[in-house]
Amino acid sequence: MKEKIILVGGGGHCCSCIDVIEADGRYDIAGIVDVPEKVGEQVLGHPIIASDDQLGSLVTEHTNFLITVGQIKSSSLRRRLYDKLRALDATLPAIISPRAYVSRHAFIGQGTIVMHDALVNAGARVGSNCILNTKSLIEHDAVVGDHCHISTGAVVNGDVRVGEGAFVGSHAVTVHGAMIAADAFVRAGSLERGI
């Protein structure tokens, strides 16, 4: 019997996460948490069962949670939800698409999702509560801090350091060894040399 998981956030990013979770096959989605006015609606056939203020009671019934709120301008909402779930002793498993490649010599933190066709090479370290979006690349020995979003097709080259809470836009490329500041916003399609 599969373990159950609760998804926190019912927007567009949630749809992509559902697709990865269903492809992975380890978890059954028990429900989704979103704003009170959406309770009773569905996302890709999965019910929105509660709002954020009910997380405490949900943790008494369920163990596994994944934050499925997206992140573009700021990591603050994802960070707040992560801190709340950790304080409630919820388990936040890493979710890795079966279409992704993660080296056995890499590390992926709790609550991070690795989307379809993403690559994480040897020696890379990815923190907790991150989004490695579709076709992103984390090269050898790169370090991605907690609460980061590496967007679609973005390239984090070897030995790059991405600070906590940073956003790296679609098809952005970081130069080998670059240092990306905490909470930085790297524009889509840019070449980032870091600080």
DSSP string computed for 55-118: HHHHHHH--EEEE----SS-SHHHHHHHHHHHHTT-B---EE-TTSEE-TTSEE-TT-EE-TT-
- Parallel, antiparallel, or unpaired: how do β-strands 119-120 and 107-108 relate? unpaired
Kindly list the structural domains of the chain, giving each domain's residue range(s) and its CATH number in brackets, ordered by start: 3-87 (3.40.50.20), 95-195 (2.160.10.10)
What is the full per-residue pLDDT of the chain (195 aa) written as tens digits?
799 999 999 999 999 999 999 999 999 999 999 999 999 999 999 999 999 999 999 999 999 999 999 998 899 999 999 999 999 999 999 999 999 999 999 999 999 999 999 999 999 999 999 999 999 999 999 999 999 999 999 999 999 999 999 999 999 999 999 999 999 999 999 998 866
Report the C-alpha gap between 154 and 103 in whole angstroms: 18
- Residue 31's φ and ψ, nearest 5 degrees, are 160, 175
